[in-house]
Amino acid sequence: MSDEVNDDKDRLISLPEAAEIYGFSRRYLSNLARRGRLKAQKIGYTWITTPADVESYIHSRKKTGVYRDDIQAS
């Protein structure tokens, strides 16, 4: 994770940027946003969220099925 993420958890980032930072696929985050599992907002054709919201989702995940423990929030 970059130090930039730790500096401002409330800055707006696109889902592709969040995917790159946190190691998820863009499609997975988009699916979570559409289902309401990840707090995000669609502006035009672009979904946006914040690092704080992505980390909140990461902390809320249940360890079931194929759980990726290599994805960590700060």
CATH code, domain carrying 20: 1.10.10
In which order are the strands placed within the sheet that holds 46-49?
A: 13-14, 46-49, 41-43
- 69 CB contacts (<8 Å, ≥6 apart)? 63
Residue 70 lies in a domain: no
8: left (phi over 0), alpha (psi -120 to 50) or beta: beta
Q: Does residue 52 have a pLDDT over 80?
A: yes
pTM summary value: 0.73
- Per the listing, tokens 């423990």 go with 69
What pLDDT is stored for residue 62 in this prediction? 72
| Residues spanned by the domain of 36 | 3-60
Residue 9 lies in a domain: yes
- How many folded domains does the chain comprise? 1
Residue 15 lies in a domain: yes
Residue 73 lies in a domain: no
Residue 27 lies in a domain: yes
When pLDDT is averaged across residues 18-32 and rounded to a whole number, the result is 95
